[in-house]
Structure 1
Amino acid sequence: MCGITGWVAYDTDLTQQQDVLAGMTATLAARGPDAGDVWVRPRAGLGHRRLAVIDLPGGVQPMTALDDTVALVYSGEVYNFVELRDELAARGHRFRTASDTEVVLNGYLEWGAAVAERLNGMFAFAVWDERSGSLTLVRDRLGVKPLYYAETRDGVLFGSEAKAILANPLASRKVGLDCLHELVGQTKAPGWALWDGMREVEPGTVLTVTSQGIREHVYWRLGTTEHLDDQDTTVETVRSLLSDAVRRQLVADVPQGVLLSGGLDSSALTGLAAEVMPGLHTFSVDFTGQEENFRPDELRAASDEAFVREVVTHVGSTHRTVTVDTRELLDPALRRTVVRAWDLPLGLGDINSSLHLLFRAIRAESTVALSGESADEVFGGYPWFHHEAARTARTFPWLAFAHSINTDRMAVLREDLRDRIDIEAYVADQYATAVARVEFLDGESELERQMRVICHLHLTRLVRALLDRKDRMSMSTGLEVRVPFCDHRLVEYVYNTPWALKSFDGREKSLLRAAVRHVLPVSVADRLKSPYPSVQDTKYATALQSQAAEVLAADSAAFALVDRGWVRAAVALTPEEITGPRRQGLERVLDAHHWVQEYRPEFTF
């Protein structure tokens, strides 16, 4: 999996900057706990932190070829590397290792940046080519693996995470008013990064850096094609594509398992994985006393654990439930760790913290885990896909569908900032930009056009935010999480399946249910969607108030961003009143406090 970083400078001798490159690389140690190294030449330096998954002794990076004139740092996994290695060997390439890294490097030597089009996987990599004096940055199609860059006076800095770039003295730590629009708007604007001068390499994109500047090439986008298969053929094709993705993603030279929530998505992967991997290990998360004291809410109709047990019994997996205690979630050191992993203020509170704890516990037993992330975006599983007001709203459906996470997102900001940020206009502009990228078929009905837009928004916007969260929380513990539902072949096929087929039985995710019913207990195959759990212990909300009161007393630097009056009012409420948006607001205040202390930003608003 790993973490990558680097620096290209056409007018600076980087052999004199090895300590800086080592510092940039060190910020990614959690992503790659097994090894780390830097490769430096006068015009380019590359850094790598390794999480060893395939060919443990052989896949060491940075990896070079042609007498050190071409160097690669690579993060992720390529699932068709065996086929590509055979093809490259037939073309005369020789391999010293059994790693997918060397396949990517030789693929670059054979096809240049076009190698990206041949890769099936999740990846972000950088190639310095001394022959042309160029740096090539490549990111996978769906954006599973992160990659950021920032231009300098004579080149570029890049890294898997913003913190690697910020470790270079040339990087700006300024955060301006424009940066706050997306932080609050939650539209996942293409290329956005919080810091002035920093950008995210967009999914499906190649950046080529030379002394003349940066050139961008999009090698993949979500396209529109006519779907000609009938219902039975469509279900069978989905089953085949998903089964193949699971099979490919169970290749590793380290222990691996499956994240099992008891919902349709993770249970489907568990059932398919059990067919090809005897002795499968599964993992779930729960909170102390949650099952006994569970109360249905706006998003969760039932507790997960009973369904988890049914799946475990059905497939015969070796299972571990990671039980999280409220006191663990309230540890300020944990929040600081999670904020550092996230790189952003205004996070998701206990949802992120418990996910980090789950991954940390899994990492003690396994290095790789499969996740059901992105199935809802691919198959149309969220409530707002089926909520008329949300799906007909002229905005992003997840913003139109009111719930505690997205309600009153500006409430905790300073009043003068709220007055100066026109979020409605920003979101409307982003929505128009996103919709303009959708291609339609001639003769599509109004409903089909509407649902194509919604599916496109989810697969090009929302899914990227959720994949980033999953990557950050997992890699901060050194755990590689793989996402079979992001196999681009499956995504392309299901995206172009008409909505009438996606919902052929009148339920959400009809195609997925039909394709995987044979590996699931009936109760799980028919279960309604339930999102990732959140702690319901009332003591948690009370403790959030106490910690927010300490932030007030300490006169935190976060008040450059956060509204004091809002915090004072929230601290004075009764515990029963700390629900929904108020509780989420307290989480954001505490996250902002730790983020400001950790990153020391220079606000320019």
Structure 2
Amino acid sequence: MCGFLGLLTATSNAKDFEPLMSSALSCMRHRGPDDSGTWLDEDAIFGFARLSIIDIAHSHQPLLWGPEENPERYLLTFNGEIYNYVELREELASAGLPFHTTGDSETIVAGYHRWGAKVVEHLRGMFAFAIWDTEKRELFIARDRFGIKPLYIATTPAGTMVSSEKKSILAAAKELGLDSSLDYRAIEHYVDLQYVPEPESLHTGIRRLESGCYATVRPGEAPVSYRYFAPEFRTTPVPADEEQKLFDAIADALRDSVEKHMRADVTVGSFLSGGIDSTAIAALAKQSNPNLLTFTTGFEREGYSEVDVAAESAEAIGAEHIVKVVSPEEYAEAVPAIMWYLDDPVADPSLVPLYFVAREARKHVKVVLSGEGADELFGGYTIYKEPLSLAPFEKIPDGLRRGLGRLSHILPEGMKGKSLLERGSMSMEERYYGNARSFNFEQMSRVIPWAKKEWDHRDVTAPLYAQSTHMDPVARMQHLDLFTWMRGDILVKADKITMANSLELRVPFLDKEVFAVAESIPYQLKISHGTTKYALRRAMEQIVPPHVLHRRKLGFPVPMRHWLAGDELYGWAQDTIRESQTEDIFNKDAVLEMLKEHRDGVSDHSRRLWTVLAFMIWHGIFVEERITPAIEERDYPVNI
């Protein structure tokens, strides 16, 4: 787990950029405090910051590797972990390829030499990497299937820059001639969805290589990208007498994934909330590590803490448990630093408790496991039940359905059945946009008057729906969330916030072998018996404590609605809005009125307010340069 950057120059003058790249690399020291290094030739320069996890004494990067006839042909920089590196090493060594370390990095570059771009299909893990071929003078970059690890790209007059952190590219923007103006289309997408969807960023000249993609770049040319992974969710019904085989296959795949995710030369712990996902991972991890440490966070306010349930789960599986309780004051003070670490804002209040529990965990371990991805793979969101509840509307002629929709608009707010009629009158493509939409267009127009109706979530969702016409309704929603909410929110915060604390987070659910089983589950075994993730719950019956098995998902819930309406955060929010220099983006009077309506109980605007507040703080850091986040320089031991 590390951070890297590279510049492929347009004019064969890489040495001229050596001081600039050194400065840009310093922006990501938190990703790799253990070691750093640079390498260059006439066309390319690469920098690396290392968090040592496997083969601590060796496997330094940038890593030179090649076959016997040219042992320094390739230059690799790599962020992530390859969990099947032991098996890949044996396969590649048997083919005569040399290895000089015991780490996982060499397996990537050796695999690239043998298989070319198809190496990505052999890798089981999380990764973003760059391989510079000094013979072909070509750069190969790739990201893992789900987008667990980030990779930013900027093509400038000086050349193409790639990086694990956008802020490193911004640090070099002026010297590279980069267009660092704000992308207003991306801003509207953010306000609409709470995150910036891939491949966008909030800066016009910086984009992201999408999850499940690789790209090639030659000096002086633009990157050319290719998609190598697309989920299918091709499912068929499972006979009742075959269901147990499926449940067993899920348990076996997840057990194997956790076992491989435990591979490390440092201590591995586990995050633990009160739900089945993290509890399943922790319980399986305990089988590999009898001294497992688990970590959770919560708040003092009743009803907004998973602490008690998580502690009960830890006791049930026999793990030592550590808790961090976050106060409203700590919460507000941490937000500027968190926005700096994020690179682009994500309006998810759970980022903050995650930051504190990661900071606490890093005092004890260097790696943690977590339960991200289970909902998207196994059908865990309550909204996935909607296609079943709305199925009767599918039998109604379109004209009548539209009439019911018009009727719903004139019914009083809060009237029973209003929402059902409204949603039942729409197609899935119209009504479902993922888990994160903050504003409808009318609400958005109130706070950003320049909003364009054609710039909305359909920019993001329409192509994804076009890819999923062959899938069942629940699978279509899962497919959408894999490419939107999961990689735009869930995995961004998982990577950025743990790496802010020099902590590696691993996600065993998002494993190619686990996905191969999950992809085959029919929707009747996802949403069934009045619950979500039915097949996963059945698979975990002998693994997860009974008090968690059928408990609804909460994660790290945040009392944002209460805090913004009360003394805890109302004044802080008011000051943030007034001091922000975002008049060209937001109608600040409208935002202040929204805050007042929230305090007075007129409407719950907490989600919308947090979306705006997060952006304003981000803008104060990266655009106005008015806010200086308190970034701690923390030194951790290499081995824990």
TM-score for both structures, normalised by structure 1: 0.89
Partner of 1:309 in structure 2? 311
2:258 maps to: 246
SS of 2:505's partner is strand
* Paired AA for residue 438 in structure 1: S
1:520 matches 2:544: yes
Do the aligned residues in 2 keep the contact of 1:222 with 1:492 (CA within 8 Å)? no
Q: CA deviation at 1:330?
A: 2.0
Look up the SS of the partner of 1:559 in the other structure: coil
Answering whether residue 209 of structure 2 is matched by residue 178 of structure 1, we say no
CA contact (8 A) 1:116 1:138 kept: yes
> Cα offset for 1:337?
0.7
Within the candidate set 428, 433, 443, 2:463 is matched to 433
Alpha carbons of structure 1 residues 501 and 240: separation in structure 2 relative to 1, 3 Å: same
Instruction: Give the drift of 1:139.
Output: 0.5
The reply to whether residue 32 of structure 1 matches residue 32 of structure 2 is yes
2:81 aligned partner, one-letter code: E
Equivalences for 1:14-163 in 2 at 5 Å?
Answer: 14-65=14-65, 66-153=70-157, 155-163=159-167
Matched, 1:550 2:550: no
Aligned counterpart in structure 2 of residue 587 of structure 1, from 602, 607, 610: 610
Q: Could you tell me how far apart the structure 1 residues matched to 2:115 and 2:265 are?
A: 28
Structure 1 match to 2:621: 598
Please report how far the alpha carbon of residue 427 of structure 1 lies from its aligned counterpart in structure 2 after TM superposition: 2.2
Which of the numbers 206, 223, 226 marks the counterpart of 1:198? 206
Deviation at 1:146, TM superposition (A): 0.8
CA distance in 2, matches of 1:482, 1:568: 40
Gaps of 5+ in 2: 391-422, 626-640
1:601–1:410 Cα change, 3 Å: farther
The 1-side partners of 2:624 and 2:133 are apart by 34
Secondary structure class of the residue paired with 1:17? helix
Match for residue 214 of structure 1 among 214, 217, 223: 223
Match of 1:300 in 2: none
1:394 and 2:428 aligned = yes
Residue identity over aligned pairs, in percent, reads 28
Structure-to-structure mapping, 1:196-595, within 5 angstroms: 196-211=204-219, 212-225=221-234, 227=236, 230-287=242-299, 289-290=300-301, 293-294=302-303, 303-331=305-333, 334-345=334-345, 347-348=347-348, 350-387=349-386, 388=389, 393-395=427-429, 399=433, 406-408=437-439, 417-422=448-453, 426-438=456-468, 440=470, 449-465=472-488, 466-535=490-559, 538=562, 541-551=566-576, 554=579, 556-570=580-594, 572=596, 575=599, 577=601, 580-581=604-605, 583-595=606-618
Task: Name 1:443's counterpart in structure 2.
Answer: none
Compared CA separation, residues 86 and 386, structure 1 to 2 (3 A)? same
The alpha-carbon distance between structure 1 residues 559 and 534, as it changes in their structure 2 partners (threshold 3 A), is same
Distance, in Å, in 2 between the alignment partners of 1:206 and 1:599 is 29
Equivalent residue letter for 1:460: F
Distance in 1 separating the partners of 2:338 and 2:103: 31
Instruction: Give how far 1:134 is off.
Output: 0.6
Deviation of 1:578 (Å): 8.9
- 1:322 & 1:181 partners in 2: Cα distance? 35
Aligned length in residues: 576
Change over 3 Å in CA distance of 1:439–1:246 after alignment to 2: farther
CA distance in 2, matches of 1:5, 1:412: 40
Answer whether contact 2:376 2:481 (CA < 8 A) is retained.
Answer: yes
Q: Cα offset for 1:568? A: 3.2
Q: How much does 1:203 deviate?
A: 1.4
Alpha-carbon distance, 1:399 to partner:
4.3
Query: Is contact 1:141–1:205 with CA below 8 Å preserved after alignment?
Result: yes
463-472 or 148-157: bigger deviation: 148-157
Q: CA–CA distance in 1 between the matches of 2:514 and 2:196?
A: 22
Amino acid in structure 2 at the alignment position of 1:69: R
| Structure 1 residue 237, shift from structure 2 partner | 0.8
Any conservation in 1 of the 2:291–2:319 contact (CA below 8 Å)?
A: yes
By how many angstroms is 1:23 displaced?
1.7
Answer yes or no: is the 8 Å Cα contact 1:126–1:136 preserved in 2: yes
- Secondary structure class of the residue paired with 2:502: coil
Is the contact between residue 295 and residue 321 of structure 2 (CA under 8 Å) also seen in structure 1?
yes
**Is this contact kept in 2: 1:310–1:521, CA < 8 A?**
no
Runs of 4+ residues over 6 Å off in structure 1: 409-414
Separation (CA, whole Å) in 2 of partners of 1:94 and 1:75: 22
Mean CA deviation greater in 478-487 or 462-471:
462-471
Task: State the shift of 1:567 in Å.
Answer: 3.6
DSSP 3-state at the match of 2:199: coil
- Whichever residue aligns with residue 546 of structure 1, its letter is G
Kindly provide the CA deviation profile for residues 240-297 of structure 1, in whole angstroms up to 9, marking residues without a partner as x: 111110000011111111110020111111111122221111111111x23xx327xx
Cα pair 2:160 2:222 within 8 Å, conserved:
no
8 Å contact from structure 1 (residues 545, 586) kept in 2: no
Q: Which residue of 1 aligns with 2:393?
A: none
Q: State the alpha-carbon separation in 1 of the partners of residues 150 and 202 from structure 2.
A: 14
**Separation in structure 2 between the aligned mates of residue 319 and residue 549 of structure 1, nearest angstrom:** 38
1:164 alignment partner in structure 2: 168
Given the superposition, is the C-alpha separation of residues 576 and 522 from structure 1 closer, same or farther in structure 2, using an over 3 Å criterion?
farther
Alpha-carbon distance in structure 1 between the residues aligned to 2:98 and 2:71: 14
Q: 1:69-92 CA distances to partner (integer Å, 9 max, x unpaired)?
A: 321100000000001111111112
CA distance in 1 between partners of 2:591 and 2:13 (Å)? 49
**CA shift in 2, pair 1:105/1:25, >3 Å:** same
CA spacing shift, 1:547–1:307, aligned 2, 3 Å: closer
Matched residue of 1:385: which SS?
Answer: helix
Question: What residue identity is the alignment partner of 1:121?
Answer: G
Deviation at 1:396, TM superposition (A): 7.3
> Aligned with 1:485: secondary structure?
coil
Match in the other structure for 1:13:
13
Residue 328 of structure 1 aligns to which amino acid in structure 2? E
Letter in 1 for 2:231: L
More off after superposition, 11-20 vs 236-245: 11-20
CA-based RMSD of the aligned residues comes to: 2.6
1:512, 1:460 → 2: CA distance?
22
Equivalent pair of 1:412/1:563 in contact (CA under 8 Å): no
Alignment partner of 2:449: what SS? Answer: helix
In 2, Cα distance between equivalents of 1:189 and 1:254: 34
Q: Is the 8 A contact 1:545 1:570 kept in 2?
A: no
Does the CA-based 8 Å contact 1:414-1:564 persist in structure 2? no
Give distance in 2, aligned partners of 1:251 and 1:507: 34
